[in-house]
Amino acid sequence: MMPSLPEGYRALIIGSSGTIGSAFLELLQSDPRCSHAIGIHRQSSPAINYADEASIAIAAEALASSGPFHLIINAIGVLHTDTWSPEKKGADLCFGQLEAIFKINAFGPAVTLSKFSSLLAKANAIMAVISAKVGSIEDNRLGGWYSYRASKAALNMLLKTTAIELRRTQPNTKLIALHPGTVNSRLSKPFKGEQIGRPAIDAARDMLAVLNQLPLSESGSFYSYSGEKLPW
């Protein structure tokens, strides 16, 4: 797996307690070419919790001695919470939901990109965040899901902007936003995820293949698990 990365490469999965995050970790831990694959989440040590901004920098600092990492993937994200379900119409919009969803899907991942990029191997590294095709402004045909769509669109912009900066400061880093497809998970369960979603392990395998194949020149782009380049 990941032949574009050096033999003995090191990987970090952020949000490894999630369905897709744990699938990434399982695949990487079973790859004989990967010498070190670890995961962090809200209950791990160090922990990362987007309800606590400081936890992001503390986790990055705690992991500095375990690096450098050739591959970092952030699979944290929410569509619904105990309090909030995706909005069906504009009348459902409120600051509370927008803030809660943006914090986890956009603010947290953006600050994570910033704090964790220094842990990447300088000569050759990939950093990815799991976005969602419904965050594509151009592809929005159905409407609805205001906060989730907008938070993923914001995430995409924050990733693109970070990629432009990294092109100057860490020119051998490939930074990619990924769409996993519909996956059977906690997140998709209330939305027929079990019927229409596929196993996370298949989605994770496909996304690793995409990350591996993309040239460095594609850093700052949005790709589907299928290898299709998605419009912003």
Ligand X SMILES: NC(=O)c1ccc[n+]([C@@H]2O[C@H](COP(=O)([O-])OP(=O)(O)OC[C@H]3O[C@@H](n4cnc5c(N)ncnc54)[C@H](OP(=O)(O)O)[C@@H]3O)[C@@H](O)[C@H]2O)c1
Residue numbers at the binding site for ligand X (CB under 6 A): 15, 17-21, 41-42, 48-51, 75-78, 104, 130, 132, 180, 182-183, 185-188, 197
> Which of 18, 86 has the CB closer to ligand X?
18
Give the nearest distance from C-beta 25 to ligand X in angstroms.
11
CA dihedral in degrees (16, 18, 24, 29; nearest 10)?
Answer: 50
Give the nearest distance from C-beta 43 to ligand X in angstroms.
6
> Which of 21, 86 has the CB closer to ligand X?
21
40 DSSP β-pair partners = 14
**68 near 120, Cβ under 8 Å?**
yes
Residue of minimal Cβ distance to ligand X: 77
SS3 label, residue 41: coil
> Which of 19, 156 has the CB closer to ligand X?
19
> Which of 11, 121 has the CB closer to ligand X?
11
Selection from 153, 103, 162 nearest residue 133 by Cα:
153
Cα–Cα dist 136/142, whole Å: 12
Taking CA atoms, 177 is separated from 163, 174, 208, in Å, by 10, 10, 12
Give the nearest distance from C-beta 93 to ligand X in angstroms.
19
Give the nearest distance from C-beta 6 to ligand X in angstroms.
27
At 7, list the tokens: 């033999």
Residue 53 gets the label, from left (phi > 0), alpha (psi -120 to 50) or beta, of alpha
Give the nearest distance from C-beta 157 to ligand X in angstroms.
16
> Which of 12, 121 has the CB closer to ligand X?
12
